[in-house]
Amino acid sequence: MKGTALPVALLLLLAAIIAPTTAHTSEDLVYGYECRAGLCRKVELSEENFSKAISLPVCRLFCGSSIGTLWPKPTGAVRLDTLMRQVDISFIDFNITGIARKEKLWKAAENRWMDMIDAKIPDRKILTRGGYRLTVNVNTPDDVAPAKLTLDTDESYRLDVDTDPSGHVVASIAASNFFGARHGLETLSQLIVYDDLRREVQVTANASISDAPAFKWRGLLLDTSRNYYSVKAIKRTLDGMALVKLNTFHWHITDSHSFPLEVRKRPELYKLGAYSPRQVYTQRTVAEVVEYGRVRGIRVMPEFDAPAHVGEGWQHKNMTACFNAQPWKDFCVEPPCGQLDPTVDGLYDVLEDIYSEMWELFSPDVFHMGGDEVSTSCWNCSLPIRQWMKAQGWGLETADFMRLWGHFQTEALKRVDTVANGTQTPIILWTSHLTEEPFIDEYLNPERYIIQIWTTGGDPKVKKILKRGFKTIVSNYDALYFDCGGAGWVSDGNNWCSPYIGWQKVYDNTMSEIAGDYEHHVLGAEAAIWSEQIDEHTLDNRFWPRGSALAERLWSNPNESWKQAESRLLLHRERLVENGLGAEALQPQWCLQNERECPVDAYDAQA
Which position among 373, 411, 532, 584 bears the catalytic label?
A: 373
C-beta separation of 561 from 506 below 8 A: no
Is 373 annotated in the active site?
Answer: yes
State the Cα angle at 446 between 441 and 452, rounded to 5°. Answer: 100
How far is 521 from 506, CA to CA, in rounded Å?
Answer: 20
Helix, strand or coil, per DSSP, at residue 586? coil
**138, 143, 147, 150: CA torsion to nearest 10:** -100
Pick from 267, 372, 352, 353: which is nearest to 316 by CA? 267
Alpha helical stretches, state H, 264-330: 267-273, 283-295
The answer to whether the peptide bond before residue 57 is cis (omega within 30 degrees of 0) is no
| Radius of gyration, alpha carbons of the chain | 27
Q: Is the dihedral of CA 592, 598, 599, 601 positive or negative?
A: positive
Q: Which residues contact 269 (CB under 8 A, 6 or more apart)?
A: 259, 261, 263, 313, 314, 354
The backbone torsions φ and ψ at residue 254, rounded to the nearest 5 degrees and listed phi first, read -130, 160
Using CA atoms, how far apart are residues 406 and 429, in angstroms rounded to an integer?
A: 13
Sorted by sequence, the CB contacts under 8 Å of residue 276 that are 6+ apart come out as none
Alpha carbon distance 68, 83 (integer Å): 13
Q: Which residues of 551-576 are buried (b: 16+ CB within 10 A; e: fewer)?
A: bbbbbbbbeeebeebbbbbbbbbbbb
Taking CA atoms, 235 is separated from 40, 288, 294, 345, in Å, by 35, 9, 11, 38
List the one residue out of 321, 338, 449 whose CA is nearest residue 384: 321
Task: Give the separation between CA 436 and CA 443, rounded to whole angstroms.
Answer: 10
CA distance 502 to 30: 34
CA dihedral 418, 424, 425, 428 (to 10 degrees): 100
Here the contacts of 286-294 (C-beta below 8 Å, separation 24 or greater) are 286/261, 286/262, 286/361, 286/362, 287/361, 288/231, 289/231, 289/234, 289/235, 289/238, 289/251, 290/361, 290/362, 290/363, 292/235, 292/238, 293/238, 293/249, 294/105, 294/147, 294/148, 294/149
Distance CA 417, CA 351 (A): 12
Report which of 174, 186, 178, 166 is spatially closest to residue 88, judged by C-alpha positions.
Answer: 166
Cα–Cα distance measured from residue 371 to residue 452, given in angstroms and rounded to the nearest whole number: 10
- Active site members: 373
